[in-house]
Amino acid sequence: MNKLRDFIYNVSDVVLALVIITLIAGIISWKIKAISDYPEYAASLPSNSEETPGTETPDTETPDIEPPDTETPDTETPDTETPENEPDTPDPDTSNPPAPPQMVTVRIPDGSIGSSIAKILLENNLIQSSSEFLNRATERKLDSKLRSGTFKIPSNATLDEVINILTGQ
């Protein structure tokens, strides 16, 4: 009877050791996959050079608009008392287009979970509610795909746009 009991104890020790080894192997392979997927993720991020032309375009348009306004009064000075007022009206219209959204740089530390990511976004005024962010990410089945890193997010981005940026979608 003692031999049977000793045999069962020995077998249970071996089984427990195999379970632990299997878990460790699974975790290691999971992390290796995450590391191997990083180059694809990094390539999918927008580069700074893509944002720069977007900000230069409005600057380029403004000087193009101003010279015609100054030329029109110069050529039609005698009868342009009324037309001068008309170009003044479009000038405020051209200055009224909304300025390009301000880019907010957000750093998500490695190992951050959804709630800590939501807190960072909330502190940077990119989302209105942590629970709304987490619920929407879960609805879209992207909660497990939120990534760490440094991201540039437009200040007027929608909730789905923020999630897309953080997941590389």
Q: Do 106 and 134 reside in the same domain of the chain?
A: yes
What is the spatial distance between Cα 96 and Cα 165, in angstroms, rounded to a whole number? 29
pLDDT tens-digit profile, the chain (169 residues) = 888 888 888 888 888 889 999 999 988 988 887 787 777 766 666 654 444 333 333 343 434 444 444 444 444 445 545 445 555 555 555 556 666 778 889 999 998 888 899 999 999 989 999 999 999 999 999 888 898 899 999 988 899 999 999 998 8
What is the spatial distance between Cα 108 and Cα 121, in angstroms, rounded to a whole number? 9
**What does 71-125 look like in DSSP terms, one character per residue?**
HHHHHTTTT-HHHHHHHHTHHHHHH-SPPPPPEEEEEE-TT--HHHHHHHHHHTT
**Measured in whole angstroms, how far is the alpha carbon of residue 126 from the centre of its chain?**
10
Domain membership of residue 163 as a residue range:
101-169
Q: Do 88 and 119 reside in the same domain of the chain?
A: no
CATH number of 120's domain:
3.30.1490.480
Paired tokens of 87:
């170009």
Strand 149-154 versus strand 103-108 pairing type: antiparallel
Paired tokens of 65:
């608009």
Number of domains in the chain: 3
Contacting residues for 122 by C-beta, under 8 A, at least 6 apart: 128, 129, 130, 133
pLDDT score, position 120: 92
